[in-house]
């Protein structure tokens, strides 16, 4: 006689109790109103340092005007998939201009970066193939490999030699080497020069998810590929998300014509879903143009990042080594990290307490993200609030 089936409700209750014991429960706050980097939350105004709107384009006049024009012309929704009737002229312009700016033959718009990552891996790999990934890659890339049915091999974070070893250890079938360009929780940059060489040696296609790189780093803000001095020749497949530095929502896969055509015809997350709303595509197109025409935004972002780091170092805060607007403060302990975040919120600043499984066990942290829209006074106020909170909580810095 077989054992009785597990009770799913009991399993859920036990999992919740476990998260409570580990101080790992995630709480959703409701934003009632937003004005630039200020947000009204729970009836009070705070300065937000936990979003990814690095250039302040989410409420930029050019992006708002572009979205309004497209809404007047196309309405709210995409109405159908791109392959049925949802592909509009504004989608076409977005794909074309983004590809031209970043030096790729063609682009393909998706509803979000998660879907685009699923599409890129599943449409290229299957049983008998291998996907080699950085251990700290975004969850969507890990899920993409698992759903593709290929072998998933992971290498130590930022270790190009480790990537090469994994490729050599899996010689059969087609291979992809996949990495974030800028890592969302650590803020560091992937060693693309070395990874591209490893991919070339092993005849693997290199795929870079540059969600947090495009618009932020590299010459003219062209992202981590340009930052490494590479082009589409060394990195033949690139993901650009539209919801970070570009301030909107969605994603675009960039690559050579044959690759993108293959995704358009076969990638399930593209074929079987409604098109990105035209107004959001138009807003992102406006943002792409703003990044190119207004380099002062990026300059201000770099100044804000440098100011935060210098002031945090003077206070002895536990900064991790990040050259990007993602500035983690590593505490290690979940409870202390939460206590610091609560104290800072009470002081009028909103930061995120990042805990496992988003980061490895013992590496809980406050994740601060800077924006070109933050003023010097707001940055100074945040650092002072963090220093007071750390002193009050006794959150001793953890060792990275």
Report DSSP state, residue 28: P
Query: Is 399 annotated to bind ligand?
Result: no
Query: Is 212 annotated to bind ligand?
Result: yes
Supply 178's token pair: 């996949």
Containing H/E element for 107? strand 106-110
CA dihedral (28, 32, 37, 38) positive or negative: negative
Single out the catalytic residue among 82, 87, 244, 374: 244
Supply 113's token pair: 């970066």
Single out the catalytic residue among 212, 227, 284, 371: 212
Q: 45 has which bridge partners?
A: 40
Query: Is 65 annotated to bind ligand?
Result: no
Single out the catalytic residue among 140, 184, 284, 322: 184
Query: Is 113 annotated to bind ligand?
Result: yes
Ordered alpha helix ranges (H), the chain: 8-21, 61-74, 89-102, 113-122, 139-148, 160-169, 192-201, 224-227, 257-266, 268-271, 278-293, 295-314, 334-346, 376-393
Residue 60 appears among annotated catalytic residues: no
Name the CA radius of gyration of the chain, rounded. 22
Query: Is 114 annotated to bind ligand?
Result: yes
Containing H/E element for 176? strand 175-180
Query: Is 96 annotated to bind ligand?
Result: no
Q: Is the CB of residue 353 less than 8 Å from the CB of residue 281?
A: no
Span between the terminal Cα atoms of the chain, in Å? 51
Residue 322 appears among annotated catalytic residues: no
Residue 66 appears among annotated catalytic residues: no
Which residue numbers belong to the known binding site for pyridoxal 5'-phosphate?
Answer: 113-114, 184, 212, 241
Annotated active-site positions, please?
A: 184, 212, 244
Which residue numbers belong to the known binding site for substrate?
Answer: 26, 138, 358
Which residue numbers belong to the known binding site?
Answer: 26, 113-114, 138, 184, 212, 241, 358
């Amino acid at each position: 006689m077989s054992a009785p089936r597990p009770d799913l409700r009991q399993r859920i209750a036990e999992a919740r109790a476990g998260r409570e014991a580990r101080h790992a429960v995630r709480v959703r706050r409701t934003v009632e109103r937003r004005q630039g980097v200020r947000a009204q939350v729970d009836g009070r105004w705070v300065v937000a340092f936990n979003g990814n709107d690095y250039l302040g384009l989410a409420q930029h006049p050019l992006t708002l005007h572009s979205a309004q024009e497209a809404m007047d012309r196309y309405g709210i929704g995409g109405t159908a998939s791109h392959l049925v009737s949802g592909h509009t002229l504004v989608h076409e312009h977005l794909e074309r201009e983004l590809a031209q700016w970043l030096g790729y033959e063609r682009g393909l718009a998706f509803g979000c970066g998660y879907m685009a990552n699923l599409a890129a891996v599943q449409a290229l790999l299957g049983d008998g193939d291998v996907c080699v990934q950085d251990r700290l890659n975004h969850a969507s890339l890990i899920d993409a490999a698992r759903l593709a049915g290929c072998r998933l091999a992971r290498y130590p974070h930022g270790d190009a030699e480790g990537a090469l070893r994994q490729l050599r250890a899996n010689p059969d079938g087609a291979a992809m080497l996949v990495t974030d360009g800028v890592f969302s929780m650590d803020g560091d940059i992937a060693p693309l020069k070395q990874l591209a060489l490893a991919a070339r040696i092993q005849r693997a296609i290199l795929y870079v998810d540059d969600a947090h790189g495009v618009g932020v780093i590299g010459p003219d803000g062209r992202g981590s590929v340009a930052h490494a001095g590479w082009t589409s020749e060394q990195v033949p497949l690139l993901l650009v998300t539209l919801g970070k530095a570009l301030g909107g929502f969605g994603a675009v896969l960039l690559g050579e014509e044959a690759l993108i055509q293959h995704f358009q015809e076969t990638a399930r997350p593209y074929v079987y879903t409604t098109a990105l709303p035209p107004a959001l595509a138009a807003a992102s197109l406006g943002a792409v143009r703003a990044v190119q025409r207004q380099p002062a935004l990026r300059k201000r972002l770099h100044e804000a990042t440098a100011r935060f780091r210098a002031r945090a170092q003077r206070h002895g805060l536990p900064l991790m080594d990040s050259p990007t607007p993602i500035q983690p403060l590593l505490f290690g302990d979940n409870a202390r990290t939460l206590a610091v975040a609560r104290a800072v919120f009470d002081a009028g600043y909103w930061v995120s307490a990042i805990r496992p499984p988003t980061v490895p066990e013992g590496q809980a942290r406050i994740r601060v993200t800077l924006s070109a829209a933050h003023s010097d006074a707001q940055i100074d106020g945040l650092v002072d609030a963090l220093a007071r909170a750390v002193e009050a909580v006794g959150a001793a810095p953890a060792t990275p």
